[in-house]
Amino acid sequence: MLIEKIQNRSANIGIVGLGYVGLPLVFEFCRSGFKVTGFDIDPIKIEKIELKESYIKHLPSSLLEEAALRFRATTDFTGLSNMDCIIICVPTPLNKYREPDLSYVFDTTRMIASHLKKGQLIVLESTTYPGTTDVDMRAILEETGLLAGKDFYLAFSPEREDPNNPLFSTRTIPKVVGGYTEQCLAVAKAMYDCVVTQTIPVSSTRSAEAAKLLENIYRSVNIALVNELKMLFDRMDIDIWEVIEAAKTKPFGFQAFYPGPGLGGHCIPIDPFYLTWKAREFDCSTKFIELAGEINVSMPYYVVEKTLHALNEKGKSICNAQILVLGLAYKRDIDDCRESPSFKIIELLQQHGAVVDYNDPYVPVPPKMRKYKFEMKSAPLTPETLAKYDCVVIVTDHSSYDPQFIVDHAQLIVDTRNLIKRSIDSQGKVKKA
């Protein structure tokens, strides 16, 4: 029985997708005594794994050394037939119409179906709309003649990765698990019980899918609220950061969220649209979610508008202005640029005629993207380079950025993260818009 193989660590674990979700999961299974095979279509990742070189900044290469005896990676998907448990950790982006693009999930599912065996466990971790696992994926897998819940096990367990979070890791973040049947849930829960400190079973795959969407929609809506208040309070000459600090002293009924240049990462900018798209099938309009999305998507435009006005106050035009954007990563101290607002800000500044460079200690060159094609590389951050720019726009507040150094050498600062004010006392030479 598969549960017994899982509990005695003899089950072979296959993880499809070796990115920000899949690779940390590999390490936890290896630490728990399992043999793991990683599958990915990117040969560069496989090559780096073989060389014991991490390609994710916050995951040191020492973890690959530690996992070496139990972990192998390959682009050959025929090995799926030898796996007892297969976990899918592939991207679920939006297409150009901001509709769900599940091509990676469905292509992976078809690949698994071509190698499906009786008794295997298939788990999807990629964020998606309710019904993906028990309807869409199940239909593909059952084309083999094998039945979910009878011949193989099917489950959904949403990833909850927060790269470089010092307080929570893959092992310590509670794991929501939903199965197609009770037995599917029991097998999936047994597997995750081996690698995480707490599993949270729910009644179905749809409940698990919906739980992940709720988590990120909650954040999206609240971030949109403070972004909207940021724009309003600016006009009222009220400091939003001071207001938030005051409000969060209330010990109940309030959780602090902070404004910024827009949303980044693979979850919060994308996940809400999966539910709004699915809601149309049920003739339901998700106005609240869509409005939050509109506000958050508009923030790069607001940042550029603030930059334009700041330059005007200095008697300079945006056209031919030299601007340095600090930070490409979507949040502090990581190299993950997925959906980063920096790219939209750079594009908009260039459309206004500005000459734009960027600096990011974690991103020496921009990653290849479908939406943006920038032939750039990270500019050095020296007194001379800072001084030559007409404006410095802080988009990511990396801890390596010294606020006083920036203030001392920059001509003008537009700070979207409150890095300068929160780090320098009121006597500092703050020259920010």
Tell which of 202, 231, 262 closes a domain.
202
Is 269 found in the same domain as 192?
no
- pLDDT (tens, 9 = 90+) of the chain, 433 residues, equals 899 999 999 999 999 999 999 999 999 999 999 999 999 999 999 999 999 999 998 899 999 999 999 999 999 999 999 999 999 999 998 887 888 999 999 999 999 999 999 999 999 999 999 999 999 999 999 999 999 999 999 999 999 988 888 889 999 999 999 999 999 999 999 999 999 999 999 999 999 999 999 999 999 999 999 999 999 999 999 999 999 999 999 999 999 999 999 988 777 778 888 899 999 999 998 999 999 999 999 999 999 999 999 999 999 999 999 999 999 999 999 999 988 999 999 999 999 999 999 999 999 999 887 778 888 999 999 999 999 999 999 999 999 999 999 999 999 999 999 999 887 654 455 544 4
d(CA 101, CA 287): 22
374 exposure class (CB count in 10 Å sphere: 0-12, 13-18, 19+): middle
Is 137 found in the same domain as 48?
yes
- 267 is known as an active-site residue: yes
Helix axes 341-351, 287-313, angle to 10 degrees: 50
Tell which of 143, 177, 202 closes a domain.
202
* CA dist list (Å): 218 to 29, 72, 225, 330: 30, 38, 11, 19
Q: Given 85, 267, 337, 391, which residue is catalytic?
A: 267
Owner of token pair 């690959």: 64
Owner of token pair 């780096």: 48
- DSSP 8-state class, residue 371: S
Q: Phi and psi (nearest 5°) for 36?
A: -125, 135
DSSP conformation letters of 2-22: HHHHHHTT-SEEEEE--STTH
Asked, for residue 193, whether it belongs to a domain, the answer is yes
Tell which of 202, 228, 254 closes a domain.
202
Is 242 found in the same domain as 125?
no
Is 147 found in the same domain as 44?
yes
Q: Edge-to-edge strands of the sheet including 413-415?
A: 355-359, 322-326, 391-394, 413-415
| Structural domains counted in the chain | 2
Owner of token pair 């790219």: 343
Asked, for residue 304, whether it belongs to a domain, the answer is yes
Is 245 found in the same domain as 187?
no
d(CA 265, CA 19): 13
Asked, for residue 430, whether it belongs to a domain, the answer is no
Host H or E run for residue 175: strand 175-179
Task: Note the pLDDT of residue 432.
Answer: 44
Alpha-helical (H) ranges within 335-379 are 341-351
Q: What is the CATH number of the domain that holds 249?
A: 3.40.50.720
Task: Note the pLDDT of residue 327.
Answer: 97
d(CA 397, CA 390): 20
Is 419 found in the same domain as 347?
yes
Predicted structure pTM score: 0.90
Asked, for residue 395, whether it belongs to a domain, the answer is yes
Is 257 found in the same domain as 189?
no
Is 95 found in the same domain as 129?
yes
Is 265 found in the same domain as 184?
no
Is 242 found in the same domain as 196?
no
Is 121 found in the same domain as 59?
yes
Is 385 found in the same domain as 302?
yes
Asked, for residue 209, whether it belongs to a domain, the answer is no
Task: Note the pLDDT of residue 429.
Answer: 52
Asked, for residue 347, whether it belongs to a domain, the answer is yes
Asked, for residue 265, whether it belongs to a domain, the answer is yes
Q: Edge-to-edge strands of the sheet including 199-202?
A: 71-74, 35-39, 12-16, 85-88, 121-124, 153-156, 175-179, 199-202
- Its domain, for residue 404, covers 218-423
Owner of token pair 């011949």: 151
Asked, for residue 322, whether it belongs to a domain, the answer is yes
Query: CA nearest 309: which of 382, 367, 301?
Result: 301
